[in-house]
Chains A and B, each alone.
Chain A
């Protein structure tokens, strides 16, 4: 019974790219390619890749770009799930700082590096669970709850490091953590590979179990979901917990690359990047259907925009404006109204042409 329907939908959008990325994402792809083009025009060696035998990895502008994108991939994935329940997690940047601070301080205090990683992840998970508990059990508004966590997190990071920017670069035995941020797997940055694996794992968790469907259901209609026997509170708790945990991974990536936590700047503004990545990826801020692939692509685009800013040498005062313009262009191109207008234009042109043929 489902066969003819499927064929029909394939007939409707025959383009291969569209089938893979969905209607909306095609513009993200276009924007991504456009940014690469602009960068290549300015810096002719932008696409060049070289092998660095000392690090055992590839080197080049694109490589540093995907290295940076790893942290965005993490927080954007968590943010996607939260936004799908029609919530928001403003605390991911601060949680990054807290998790990073915990890891660095543990190393300075002589804790084993694996233990330090574990504790750092646990800290992120706990903060996420606190968000989840406040939102799901007490029914607080996600915006307020996570805004408070965003402010409290910075304070917590300072408490952990006694107000210092904890620097663990001199600590011996921190190799695994350094490798996580700066190492390579088969020539590709390790943190990017780890991030992609984690995104895939989350994707499998969402789509191979019923978690994804239930998260979407709660995001679309919480009361109707409750009536089907879903427990919305558990779902809400789960997504904030996952978001906290993934933010901790992002915090490790961010701090381990320099083995130093900056309690003010680590993760600063990154909650906004995460939200933008989700929006570019085509998940509605009103909740409901989500696309992890889309958000992952959005995260890479965010990294690409930042790389473009550096490549073009845009004045630091003007970077937010440049960032905003690119994101706005992508969002406008994806907007259903624009799509409809374009489709209408094409239809009219086709009709005019066929009329001319008849004439």
Chain B
């Protein structure tokens, strides 16, 4: 296989965003009939590389060769025409159409009177059968099947458009073990048809199971391309983390942690039987001053839903909320902020930043809202607050008059953190505060979280990266399928592995529903 010419060859790819060099001279080769894993920590440049290959981003330097031809992608259509198909983490199909319509979209079978829907669905059935999906009725509306099935449908669609390259970006992050096996089976079938698969996953086991070759990225730079079987796991991890291993390992070591608060201590916030239909099953939670509560679970497990409920972004329909000894009823973010509860959203773009306002305005907005419209923060006070947080959180560029939309993701995140810190919260809920930001900013934010807890703030830390949760948290709440399934004191017995096993081995419908639903 290795003697063959690569199907896709990306050489010397560089992409720059204002203030960040996202990719710096990166190479990537995809061979036909091979599964190629793109490895790296969050922020290493994996998704940027994929976006370069799919035409979402224009490259600043480098060449992309597909099938021996030099290609310049000015848009996603160019990449698709070159035979590159993508299945994203959150599937990009039309949920309002049927499975068959999705598979055949743009390639419907035509008769004399326009589209022949019967034949179209038959053709879809053939393609699905090739994937081993013989039981799936093409007439089923897409929104009635699971995310896992939707991904398989998306792969079937890639076969219809005769893709030569299939990109799977974190396809397994929300799948259970059986679903992963189904997916792998289909991936092998697709691979054996001579298609090049680019696979991105955080799960090392899966990479070692399915991938033939891998490219390792770190900090936007190319580290190594190698066959998977020649790369021991410990070496891979060292190469992925690189010299930043020292930097990160300093942040939050377990020895730092004292024993968790005794049960007799009064929690700062405490909820009982708290829940909301369709979002999270009723759960209990106690949050203590100076402690970090990590929420661990897969995408869609209810992590974010808990954060939103504690902040009043969604209204709970069950349960009680006690804060600082008083029963409170949080029905909106405004009341939460009055009670000195702050929540930093995972959806930075849609629910976080106010893009066309300046850094200064974005920082003082929440504090201003708690004071009311007609009690403006005096200019001097605002400047003091803004300057303080720009310095403390190291926001770059340190220009309060710049529009926040022109900052890099990591710096936007710091500005949002500043916004919530300016309200002087007692309870701070951070939802994915380090997602999609560069490793330097990530380390800074992690350190800030620890400092805040040391100063007595109660923090809820939500992250899809288990290692982050394990390093920072005092206690970890484990979630699965919208249920709280466990609460762990984060001592030496707890590791990423124990949490993963906990999630894998706990059956939700059996025990916890009976235990927690009242």
Contact = CB atoms under 8 A, between A and B. Distances in A.
B403 to A, nearest CB: 10
A210 interface: yes
A229 B333 contact: yes
Contacts of A208: 376
Contact of A224 (B311, B354, B391, B423): B354
A49 interface: no
Interface in A201-236: 208-211, 213-214, 216-217, 220-221, 223-231, 234
Contacts of A223: 350-351
A262 B222 CA distance: 76
A214 B357 contact: no
A202 to B, nearest CB: 14
Contact of A231 (B334, B345, B402): B334
A226 B354 contact: no
Given A208-B376, A227-B351, A1 B387 contact: yes
B203 interface: no
A225 B354 contact: yes
Nearest to A218: B354
Given A209-B373, A210-B368, A220-B356, A231 B332 contact: yes
Contact of B313 (A6, A225, A227): A227
Contact of A229 (B354, B361, B370, B390): B370
A221 B376 contact: no
Indicate the size class of the contact surface on chain B: 35 or more
Contact of B373 (A6, A210, A227): A210
- Most chain B CB within 10 A, of A211, A221, A228, A234, is at A228
A295 B399 CA distance: 29
B350 A229 contact: no
Contacts of A227: 311, 313, 333, 343, 345, 351-352
A214 B351 CA distance: 15
Contact of A213 (B357, B383, B399): B357
B337 A220 contact: no
B168 interface: no
Nearest to A224: B351
Contacts, number: 100
A220 B354 contact: yes
B356 A288 contact: yes
- Looking at chain A's contact residues, is the secondary structure mostly helix, strand, loop, or mixed? helix
B366 interface: yes
B355 A220 contact: yes
A2 B371 CA distance: 25
Contacts of B375: 209-210
B419 A228 contact: yes
A5 interface: yes
A223 B353 CA distance: 10
A1 B398 CA distance: 7
A213 B361 contact: yes
A307 interface: no
Given A1-B390, A214-B368, A228-B419, A221 B355 contact: yes
Interface of B: 311, 313, 332-334, 336-338, 343, 345, 350-357, 361, 365-366, 368-371, 373-377, 383, 387, 390-391, 398-402, 419, 423
In order of increasing CB-CB distance, the 9 nearest A-B pairs are A229-B369, A229-B337, A228-B366, A229-B334, A5-B399, A230-B369, A210-B368, A228-B365, A288-B356
